[in-house]
Amino acid sequence: MDQDHGATDKVKLTADDTSEDELHTSLQQPSRTLKSTAQQDSSFNEPRSRSREHTLAREGYGFRTTSRIASSAGTPVVEHSLHSLSISAPSPIPDMHGLGWPAKSTVSRLNETPQERAAREAKLAAAVRTLLEGIGEDPDREGLVRTPERYAKALLWMTKGYEERLTDVINDAIFAEDHDEMVIVRDIDVFSLCEHHLVPFTGKISIGYIPNGLVLGLSKLARIAETFSRRLQVQERLTRQIAIAVEEAIRPMGVAVVMEATHLCMCMRGVQKPGSTTVTSTMRGAFREKAKTREEFLTLIRTPQYSR
C-alpha cells in the first residue's frame, strides 16, 4: 500500500545541535521540528551536500539502518542506529523489514516455514477451485484437475516481490565512484499484475540517476524494478516506488523513472482498446528541479538503440 508522505517533508538534523534525546523528540514531533527549522533557514528546500547534513525522509523502505549526522563545521561523521535509540514514536521509515509498502500479510509470507508455505498453496488452490466452479466449469475434468495447484504456484511466483527485501536485492552492490554525470539503464522489460482486475500489464522502464559519490551496480536497477513489479500494482505507484528505492539506496543528486506499459484490463475487457499505452514518470531531485537535466534524460531514453 502506497504511503506517500511527500518528497519534501523532511526533518533536518546536525551534530552541532542535535543530541540523541533531541533526535528522539524530533521524531516524536516531526511537524513542529520541520516548521521551526524551515523558519530559521530560508533556503530549506535547496539541495545540499551530503557531507554537511543528513535528512530523515518521511518515506522509504528501511534498509538503510544508520543515520549519518555530520556537523556543519566539518567534524567527523557520527552514526546513530535508529533501532538503538529506543524511539517509542513511529519511525519516519514506514517499513522496518526493508520490503517497501508491505501488504497486511507480507511479513508472515516473508518468514514462513515450508509447512506454512504448503498450507498457503493449498488455501490458494482451494480458492481457484471455487473460482472454476463459479464460472460454471468442472474442476474435476481432465484439463482442469490440476489447474488449481498450478495456478497457486504460478500466482505465488508472479508475486514473489513480496518475499524480497531490498537489502538482499541490492546485496551491497554500492560503490564509491567519482562520477557526477547521468547514468541510465533503459528499456527494462517488466511484467506485473493490475491490482484492480488481477490481469497482467507489461512494458518497459527506464531508470536514470546522477551519482553523488556512490554508484549502484547496473543490474541492481533492473532487479529493483523486478522486485516491485512482482507484486499487485498500479503503474503510478510502481514508477514511484522504484525511484524512491534508488534514492534511498545511494542518495544521488536526482532520480528519474519513466515507464510505458500496456494494460490488458483495457485491452481484453472494459473499454477494449488494444494498442493503447500508459506512460508514467517520477522525477526527483535535480531531474525535478532543473528542466535541462530532465530534458536530457527524456531525450536519451528516446534515442534509437544502437544496432550493428
Per-residue pLDDT reduced to its tens digit, 174-216: 999 999 999 999 999 999 999 999 999 999 999 999 999 999 9
- Per-residue pLDDT of 3-13, as tens digits, reads 444 443 433 33
Contact between residue 254 and residue 293 where contact means Cβ atoms under 8 Å apart: yes
Tell me: the pLDDT tens digits for 267-287? 888 888 888 899 999 999 999
Say what the pLDDT of residue 168 is. 86
What is the mean predicted confidence (pLDDT) over 60-75? 40
Question: Residues near 20 by Cβ (< 8 Å), separated by ≥ 6?
Answer: 80, 85
Instruction: Tell me what the mean pLDDT of segment 65-75 comes to.
Output: 35
Residue 265, pLDDT score: 85
Average pLDDT, the chain: 75
Q: Tell me the range of 8-22, 45-59, 122-136, 259-273 where mean pLDDT is highest.
A: 122-136
**Structure pTM?**
0.69
Q: How many CB atoms lie within 10 A of CB 166?
A: 26
pLDDT at 124 over 90: yes
**What number is the average pLDDT over the span 70-95?**
35
pLDDT band at 111, cuts 50/70/90? confident
**Beta bridge mates, 79:** 68
How would residue 95 be classed by pLDDT, with cut points 50, 70 and 90?
Answer: low
Q: What is the pLDDT of residue 240?
A: 93
| pLDDT value at residue 109 | 83
**pLDDT score of 112 more than 80:** yes
281 vs 22: which has the higher pLDDT: 281
User: Where are the strands (E) in the chain, listed by range?
Assistant: 10-13, 54-57, 66-69, 78-81, 174-176, 183-194, 200-210, 214-216, 232-233, 254-263, 278-285
| Whole-number percent of the chain with pLDDT over 90 | 53
**Residue 70 pLDDT level (bands cut at 50, 70, 90):** very low
Residue 96 confidence (pLDDT): 58
Angstrom distance (rounded) from CA 253 to CA 258:
17
Cell of 17: 545541535
Residue 238 has pLDDT above 90, yes or no: yes
Which residues form the catalytic set? 194-197, 235, 263, 265
| pLDDT value of position 200 | 93
**Is the pLDDT confidence value at 23 over 90?**
no
pLDDT higher than threshold 80 for residue 250: yes
Q: Report how far Cα 80 is from the mean position of its chain's Cα atoms.
A: 24
The pLDDT of residue 116 is 93
Predicted confidence at residue 253, as pLDDT, reads: 96
* 3-state helix vs strand vs coil in the chain, percent to 5: 40, 20, 40
168 vs 192, residue with greater confidence = 192
Please tell me the predicted confidence (pLDDT) of residue 104.
Answer: 67
Query: What CA–CA distance (Å, rounded) separates 180 from 19?
Result: 33
